[in-house]
Amino acid sequence: MTQVLRSWWLIACAAVMSSSALLADVTGSILGVVTDPTAAVVQGVQITATNVDTNLVTETTTDSAGQYRLLSLPIGRYKLQATFSGFQTYVATGIVLSVDEQRRVDIVLNVGATQQEVSVSASAVQVETTNTQLGEVIDEKKILELPLLGRRYLDLFGLQPGVAPAGTRGEGPGTISVNGQRENSNGFLVNGGDVSGAANFEAGVQPNLDAVQEFRLITNGFDAEYGRFSGALMNAITKSGTNKIHGAAFEFLRNDKMDSRGFFDPAKGALKKNQFGYAVGGPAFKDKLFWFTDYQGDRQVNAGTASEVQVLSLAERQGNVGVQNLSGTVTGSYWAQVLSKRLARQVQVDEPYSAVFPDGIIPTSAFSPATNGTIGFIPTPNAGDNIFASAAVSKKSIDHKVGQRVDFLNKSTGNWSGYYYFDDFSRLDPYGASSFPTGFGSDDRDRNQLGTLSNTHIFSPMAVNDFRLSYTRLVARSVPAGSVAPSLESMGFITGAGTLGINNAGPTGGFRIRTP
């Protein structure tokens, strides 16, 4: 029994520490073969990769086949160096490592003194030969320089083939069709943490645009670790601090001063949108501890446009509809009995309504309880005989997004990285989910949080442990604001099971969705 348990323990350790598990969510790798001018492989070459921004140094040596592999490297800019006695030192610069990338750099060593150096500038474009996944990396340059309405980097999905330009079902950010798959068949990762929504697999966490280093959208040929999704997988990485302080501050303003009134609109509504914030990072201890923090605030007032709606005239509210508008006949004995009771006279089946109300006036005593209960919620005309003209009613929203990342580089314990994201959103909608002119306000409040902690420890060129812990919490809440919608019973409707009226279904009061 002890031998069996020991075998299973070794298998589990091998699975965790194998290189296949390091096709990592948030890192990349550099690999290649070292040869001499005769194309013979060279064993024992010292390979060193140095991160230009943080001075993180990772070393390995070539094996008997001349191959080397530097695993679990944080994304960024690297310098690669190869040294071996009797050969000139090889230095490659300009290597930009992207998320989940296996960058191949084959090295040819020339005979000469070690003090001599051969410098090579890496090509920015490389054909992928080590991975079958289809997709593209959207880097910082594209994220910041391409025009985006609302500063949503998810809108850049449309740059890749097979991606529909926009979602049609309105199930949340990121719910777009990829390669003909359903719009809620996509997955979303931020710094290795799953941030997909519980209801529609929408992007529950969207960091500040200036805090995103890059993201990869994989559209086909997923590795086994992404087997949950049939559409696409978005893997975003936020920026980390470097040995130099770098950052940006921004303010965007949009309002209605230059807007025109719509052709069919009597007036234009208010529009004012402010987006502001910052993103800055730097070293706490040079070459060891780095920080990066960001904030984005969003204030928006959007009134849409004013409108004119046809409502009941004052005469119609009293039952004076005009005999010319009374068509049809009394149908059924039950309805004839109801009218007879309300009018205190006998009404016959199939009697024309123009005969029941010969002067075109329906007395209020003939109104149904539902009519009496709902007519008070219909506004009276204020523009003409039967027109209600409304001023534009503003929807107001406030959004706060905060992100904080800390990176600690240490050879003995491995490299640590922690990230926390907090998004607090509130919106006051005067009409809620109702339509004009009968609307009841709603107060919508969302609070989304993400926390990740990871450690990458390189034990040897053949053994790397990658530990990652993430916690995502998405909360959406909507409660009535202002006038509360009345119950159907109070408006005179017959309700309840076993009746011919309306059977209530669905939640009552506040509606809340929680995902741990």
- Rank 113-117, 227-231, 318-322, 482-486 by mean pLDDT and report only the highest: 318-322
Residue 76's pLDDT is: 92
- In this structure, the answer to whether residues 116 and 138 fall within a common structural domain is no
Residue 12's pLDDT is: 43
224, part of any domain: yes
Of 101, 121, 141, the domain-final residue: 121
pLDDT beyond 70 at 169: no
How far apart, in whole angstroms, are the C-alpha atoms of residue 485 and residue 412?
63
Residue 395's pLDDT is: 85
Q: In terms of residue numbers, what domain contains 58?
A: 22-121
- In this structure, the answer to whether residues 32 and 64 fall within a common structural domain is yes
Tell me what the mean pLDDT of segment 318-332 comes to. 89
Residue 165's pLDDT is: 67
Residue 380's pLDDT is: 85
Query: Residue 66 in contact with residue 42, Cβ under 8 Å?
Result: yes
Lowest mean pLDDT among 108-122, 201-215, 268-282, 390-404: 108-122
- In this structure, the answer to whether residues 136 and 227 fall within a common structural domain is yes
How far apart, in whole angstroms, are the C-alpha atoms of residue 12 and residue 453?
22
Tell me what the mean pLDDT of segment 341-355 comes to. 90
pLDDT beyond 80 at 145: yes
How far apart, in whole angstroms, are the C-alpha atoms of residue 328 and residue 502?
26
Q: Domain of 206: which CATH number?
A: 2.170.130.10
- In this structure, the answer to whether residues 137 and 178 fall within a common structural domain is yes
- In terms of pLDDT, which residue wins out, 58 or 303? 58
Cross-strand partners of 254: 273
- In this structure, the answer to whether residues 138 and 103 fall within a common structural domain is no
63, part of any domain: yes
pLDDT beyond 60 at 515: no
- In terms of pLDDT, which residue wins out, 302 or 67? 67
Tell me what the mean pLDDT of segment 149-178 comes to. 78
Residue 35's pLDDT is: 94
0.85 cut: is pTM over it? Answer: no
- In terms of pLDDT, which residue wins out, 49 or 101? 49
- In this structure, the answer to whether residues 108 and 149 fall within a common structural domain is no
- In this structure, the answer to whether residues 200 and 114 fall within a common structural domain is no
Residue 161's pLDDT is: 84
The count of structural domains within the chain is 2
508, part of any domain: no
How far apart, in whole angstroms, are the C-alpha atoms of residue 71 and residue 62?
13
Q: Give the strand pairing for 76-83 and 46-51.
A: antiparallel
Tell me what the mean pLDDT of segment 3-13 comes to. 45
Tell me what the mean pLDDT of segment 470-478 comes to. 90
pLDDT beyond 50 at 16: no
The three-state DSSP-derived secondary structure of 244-304 is: CCEEEEEEEEEECCCCCCCCCCCCECCEEEEEEEEEEEEEEECCCEEEEEEEEEEEEEECC
| 243-258: pLDDT as tens digits | 999 999 999 998 888 8
56, part of any domain: yes
pLDDT beyond 80 at 367: yes
Residue 492's pLDDT is: 80
Q: For the chain, give the mean pLDDT.
A: 83
Of 86, 121, 156, the domain-final residue: 121
Q: Domain of 110: which CATH number?
A: 2.60.40.1120
| 29-49: pLDDT as tens digits | 999 999 999 999 999 999 999
32, part of any domain: yes
Of 121, 141, 158, the domain-final residue: 121
- In terms of pLDDT, which residue wins out, 55 or 306? 55
- In this structure, the answer to whether residues 116 and 142 fall within a common structural domain is no
Tell me what the mean pLDDT of segment 305-322 comes to. 85
Residue 294's pLDDT is: 97
Residue 505's pLDDT is: 55
**How would residue 201 be classed by pLDDT, with cut points 50, 70 and 90?**
confident
367, part of any domain: no
Query: Residue 62 in contact with residue 43, Cβ under 8 Å?
Result: yes
Rg of the chain taking only CA atoms, in angstroms: 34
- In this structure, the answer to whether residues 139 and 228 fall within a common structural domain is yes
The neighbour count for residue 180, using CB atoms within 10 Å, is: 9
Residue 503's pLDDT is: 56
- In this structure, the answer to whether residues 162 and 141 fall within a common structural domain is yes
Query: Residue 297 in contact with residue 278, Cβ under 8 Å?
Result: no
- In this structure, the answer to whether residues 110 and 190 fall within a common structural domain is no
**How would residue 89 be classed by pLDDT, with cut points 50, 70 and 90?**
very high
Residue 510's pLDDT is: 46
The neighbour count for residue 57, using CB atoms within 10 Å, is: 14
Residue 478's pLDDT is: 82
pLDDT beyond 50 at 4: no
The three-state DSSP-derived secondary structure of 160-196 is: CCCECCCCCCCCCCCCCCECCCCCCCCEEEECCEECE
Residue 7's pLDDT is: 46
